[in-house]
Amino acid sequence: MKAYKLKKEYLKEYLKSLEDFGEVWGPIKKGDIDVYEKISDYSLLNLNALRPILPLKKFLIPPKFNTFFYTKDGKYENALKDVKKRIIFGVHPCEIHALLILDRLYKERYPDYYYLIHRKSTLIVALSCVPDEKCFARSLNTHFVEEGFDLGFTDLDDYYLVWVGSSEGDDLLRCRLDLFEEKITSQDLNRYIEWRKWRDNQYQLNLDLTAMPDIMELSYDLEIWEEIGEKCLSCGTCSMVCPTCTCFNIADYLGIEDEPGKRERFWDSCMLKTFALVAGGFNFRERRADRVKLWYTHKLKAFITEFGKPACVGCGRCIANCPVNINVTEITKILKGEGAKK
Helix (H, G, I), strand (E, B) or coil at 258: coil
pLDDT 10s digits, 236-270: 999 999 999 999 999 999 888 788 999 999 999 99
Beta strands in the chain (DSSP E): 3-7, 23-30, 33-38, 64-70, 76-78, 86-91, 122-127, 151-155, 159-164, 180-181, 248-253, 261-267
> Of 128, 125, 127, which Cα lies nearest the Cα of 195?
128
Residue 341 has pLDDT above 90, yes or no: no
Residues 95 and 315: their CA atoms lie apart, in Å, by 7
Determine contact, residues 268/247, Cβ cutoff 8 Å. yes
The predicted model gives 94-110 an average pLDDT of: 95
Other CB atoms within 10 Å distance of the CB of residue 252: 9
**Rg of the chain (C-alpha set):** 22
Residues 314, 91: Cα–Cα separation, whole Å: 14
Burial of 300 (0-12, 13-18, 19+ CB in 10 A): buried
Residue 342 has pLDDT above 60, yes or no: no
Distances (CA, A) of 250 to 63, 185, 264, 291: 12, 54, 5, 21
Is residue 340 scored above 60 in pLDDT?
Answer: no
Burial of 236 (0-12, 13-18, 19+ CB in 10 A): buried
Find the largest Cα–Cα distance for the chain.
Answer: 71
**Tens-place pLDDT, residues 317-330:** 999 999 999 999 99
Q: Give the tens place of pLDDT for each residue, 77-93.
A: 999 877 899 999 999 99
* CA angle at 203 for the pair 201 and 206, rounded to the nearest 5°: 120
CA 108 remoteness from chain centre: 18
pTM: 0.94
Q: How would residue 73 be classed by pLDDT, with cut points 50, 70 and 90?
A: confident
